[in-house]
């Protein structure tokens, strides 16, 4: 292996776990790749750019992370976002690929890298890039060792490799535990939760150094299973109400955890976020209506500040603006329906008597 620096993201794996994954594919994984898993169980690396030689005609991107055995297993059990489950069959047929023989081993800065496990070209590496790239393309790498030994900096990088480079052990947005799509299994939430646990137990509750960045628990506040798990592991409830977006989450935080919806966090009140009409007026209007229906006591006399220190509008005035934007959207929906003789696809609009009563309008 080239002289690259590797930072693990999970605990070690073992041959039993790898054998379990191989049984799901009903194939043996490439031996050089198995050794990498046993040594690192997935990782982030520096440098991370595959330099596969002048014969390679494929658009290449840096490796964001090599997947762990847990990531590999879940890609077979569930159509997770990086599994190419929504790619048309024609894209595989063009390269004579059978999706059953595809093992995705790395996330690229764009796209994913995968092995072909078919007997005809066993271990050959492809890249699938549907973010403005070429779709599926075959690289010139015929083995994992060839791929990983090619890692360096891109040819156009003039600064050269930083011999003193060190991975940070502090909080940063690229931490695997913060990559929600790695654990998003809405049809089988326990599956995603188990993966999340495995990553969190290795990472721990790392906190951001600066205000404005969500903590791990703030990131997952609207995911009840992960929220409860993080609370059980001692994560702080600070800022959860300002981070929450779903009415049922807010209700749980207020009524079950006894958090104060009228208390500010980092100089911002939860109501300011709920009334921020620039985000999604329809969604946020309906959240306010749900909270009123739930009997959540909100202090409409709060005088809040903006980020620049200036006075924000009174909460009741922000509610009035949100109400007006909601009505505007409803009128636009009606115009669209009349013009095209069909709905636009928006969810149905409601009439909130509670909000109208709060505003004194009819």
Chain segment 78-132, per-residue pLDDT in tens: 999 999 998 989 899 999 999 999 999 999 999 999 999 999 999 999 999 988 8
| pLDDT at residue 113, rounded to an integer | 97
pLDDT of residue 134: 82
Per-residue confidence (pLDDT) for residue 306, from 0 to 100: 87
Give the per-residue pLDDT at 291: 98
pLDDT number for residue 308: 87
| CB contact at 8 A, 344 and 351 | no
Please report the pLDDT score of residue 58 as a whole number: 85
Report the pLDDT value the prediction gives residue 62, as an integer from 0 to 100: 95
Averaged pLDDT, 289-307: 93
3-state secondary structure of 187: coil
- Reported confidence tier of residue 352, pLDDT bands at 50, 70, 90: very high
CA distances from 73 to 14, 105, 189 (A): 13, 11, 15
Helices 315-340 and 281-293, packing angle to 10 deg: 120
| First CA to last CA distance, the chain | 72
Domains by residue range for the chain, with CATH: 5-152 (3.40.1580.10), 237-359 (no CATH)
What are phi and psi for residue 299, nearest 5 degrees?
-90, 105
Query: Is residue 57's pLDDT more than 90?
Result: no
- pLDDT class for 59, splitting at 50, 70, 90? confident
pLDDT in tens, 171-225: 998 999 999 999 999 999 999 999 999 999 999 999 998 777 899 999 999 999 9
Residue 53 — pLDDT band, cuts 50, 70, 90?
Answer: confident
What's the pLDDT band for 133 if we cut at 50, 70, 90? confident
Closest CA to 143 of 177, 185, 115, 167: 115
Q: Which residues contact 245 (CB under 8 A, 6 or more apart)?
A: 222, 283, 287
Residue 255 is given by DSSP the state: I
Residue 169 reports pLDDT greater than 90 = no
Residue 143 has pLDDT above 90, yes or no: yes
Give the model's pLDDT for residue 1: 61
Q: Are 79 and 85 in contact (CB under 8 A)?
A: yes
Mean pLDDT of the chain: 94
pLDDT of residue 128: 94
- Of 112, 86, 80, 87, residue with least CA distance to 184: 80
Q: How far apart are CA 183 and CA 178, in angstroms?
A: 10
3-state secondary structure of 112: strand
Does residue 277 carry a pLDDT above 70?
A: no
**Residue 341 neighbours by CB under 8 Å, 6+ apart:** none
Q: What share of the chain is helix, strand, coil (3-state, %, to 5)?
A: 40, 10, 50
């Amino acid at each position: 292996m080239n002289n690259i620096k590797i930072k693990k993201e999970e605990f070690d794996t073992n041959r039993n776990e790898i054998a379990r994954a191989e049984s799901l594919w009903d194939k043996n994984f490439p031996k050089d790749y198995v050794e990498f898993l046993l040594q690192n169980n997935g990782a982030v690396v520096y440098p991370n750019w595959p330099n596969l030689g002048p014969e390679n005609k494929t658009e290449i991107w840096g490796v964001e992370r090599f997947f762990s055995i847990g990531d590999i297993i879940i890609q077979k059990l569930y159509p997770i976002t990086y599994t190419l489950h929504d790619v048309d069959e024609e894209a595989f047929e063009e390269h004579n690929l059978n999706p059953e023989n595809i093992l995705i081993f790395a996330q690229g800065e764009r796209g994913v890298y995968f092995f072909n496990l078919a007997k005809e070209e066993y271990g050959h590496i492809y890249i699938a890039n549907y973010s403005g790239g070429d779709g599926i393309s075959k690289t010139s790498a015929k083995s994992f060792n060839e791929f990983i030994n090619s890692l360096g900096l891109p040819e156009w990088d003039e600064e050269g490799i930083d011999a003193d480079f060190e991975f940070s052990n502090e909080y940063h947005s690229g931490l695997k535990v913060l990559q929600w799509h790695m654990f998003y299994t809405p049809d089988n939430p326990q599956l995603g939760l188990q993966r999340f646990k495995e990553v969190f137990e290795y990472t721990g509750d790392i906190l951001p150094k600066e205000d404005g960045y969500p903590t791990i628990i703030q990131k997952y506040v609207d995911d009840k299973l992960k929220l409860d798990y993080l609370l059980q592991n001692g994560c702080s409830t600070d800022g959860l109400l300002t981070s929450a977006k779903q009415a049922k989450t807010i209700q749980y935080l207020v009524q079950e955890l006894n958090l104060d919806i009228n208390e500010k966090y980092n100089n911002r009140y939860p109501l300011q976020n709920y009334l921020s009409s620039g985000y999604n007026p329809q969604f946020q209007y309906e959240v306010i209506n749900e909270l009123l229906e739930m009997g959540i006591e909100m202090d409409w006399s709060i005088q809040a500040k903006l980020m620049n220190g200036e006075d924000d509008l009174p909460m009741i005035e922000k509610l009035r603006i949100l109400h007006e934007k909601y009505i505007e959207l409803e009128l636009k929906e009606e115009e669209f329906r009349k013009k095209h003789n069909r709905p636009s696809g928006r969810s149905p609009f409601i009439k909130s008597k509670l909000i109208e009563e709060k505003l004194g309008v009819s």
